[in-house]
Structure 1
Amino acid sequence: MNDKLNINEQICFPIYLLAKDIIALYKPLLNALNLTYPQYLVMLVLWENETRTVNTIGKTLNLDSGTLTPLLKRLQQKELVTRTRSVTDERVVNISLTTKGAQLKNEAQCIPEQMMEAMNVSVEDLTTLKELVIKILNSKK
């Protein structure tokens, strides 16, 4: 009889291991940019649109303000972003890329390809995996 509680029968375990491995593969690439993985995620959001509110970044990355605020402060200390209160609503904090932050995008351009090589998978494999993960994530909404 197959034990449903056997670790090897669980879908969560290989996903957990994969997530840890992927973040570990990012580490040396991001160290070269002086970024942590969460900081890299924020930069990805800002590289898409140079100014975002803290709330928008938090919703995009599924991070609460308690996690996001110190992360943004560190990015500001690195002179990659600026944090300014909205003129129309002081509760709103806008996060904008600095010139240095925008230029860092050029150095990061090679990361997706390097990650694909490090994982030894094709674009098609990654696309299939991503689509399945998104399907699962969207099914709980």
Structure 2
Amino acid sequence: MNEHPPIRLNNQFCFAVYSTSLAIIQLYKPLLESIGLTYTQYLVMLILWEQDGLSLKSVATQLGQQSGALTPVIKRLESDGLLKRVRTPNDERMLCLQLTDLGRDKQPQAQSIHNSIVDQCGVSVDEMDQLKLLLDKFKAKLVDHIDL
């Protein structure tokens, strides 16, 4: 019989991913605060800088979130003047998110934050790219086993 060692927190892959994620967010926090964004707001802005005018549902899907969970984040970005919610002419029920000039103007600041984070991580860009590829592959395998 093949006996498994007792489970321990520090031996868990899931905890390594979780605690690393928390550390990354904590690294971003003061830098993002300097430009008036939370980490979740930053992720939304990254999506819109790449493709402005997406639906709330599309942004939520890219983040692996439900639209309702993002609504407070979107409302805050709107009240801060970074984006506006616009109803589409073809379907009044559908909301699209459009960056304002102020929202677009934050992109260079965010790029410098990204560069700073990469520098602080202490690993090469190649190592980061390899890790991201492995995590993307792992996530794809996990998603195959999740009922959505």
TM-score, normalised by the number of residues in structure 1: 0.94
| Residue 2 of structure 1: how far off its partner (Å) | 6.4
Q: Kindly, what percent of the aligned residue pairs are identical?
A: 38
Q: Deviations over 1:96-119 (max 9, x none)?
A: 000000011011111222111221
String of CA shifts for 1:56-90, please: whole Å, max 9, x gaps.
10111111111111110000000000001112111
Amino acid at match of 1:72: I
Query: Could you tell me which residue of structure 1 aligns to residue 128 of structure 2?
Result: 126
How many pairs does the alignment contain? Answer: 141
Stretches of structure 1 that go unaligned for 5 or more consecutive residues are none
Instruction: Give me the whole-angstrom Cα distance separating, in 2, the residues matched to 1:31 and 1:66.
Output: 24
Instruction: Give the alignment's TM-score, normalised by structure 2.
Output: 0.90
Structure 2 counterpart of 1:99, from 66, 89, 101: 101
Q: How does 1:1-141 map to 2 (within 5 A)?
A: 3-140=5-142, 141=144
Q: Which blocks of at least 5 consecutive residues in structure 2 are unaligned?
A: none
Moved more, 62-71 or 24-33: 62-71
Point out the more displaced range, 25-34 or 3-12: 3-12
- The list of structure 1 runs, each at least 4 consecutive aligned residues, that deviate by more than 3 angstroms after superposition, is none
The one-letter amino acid of 2:117's match is: M
CA distance in 1, matches of 2:6, 2:103: 48
| CA distance in structure 1 between the aligned counterparts of 2:74 and 2:7, rounded to whole angstroms | 41
| In 1, Cα distance between equivalents of 2:113 and 2:124 | 15
The residue identity in structure 1 corresponding to 2:75 is: K
2:102 corresponds to which letter in structure 1? K
The secondary structure found in structure 2 opposite 1:134 is: helix
Q: Distance in 1 between matches of 2:4 and 2:66?
A: 40
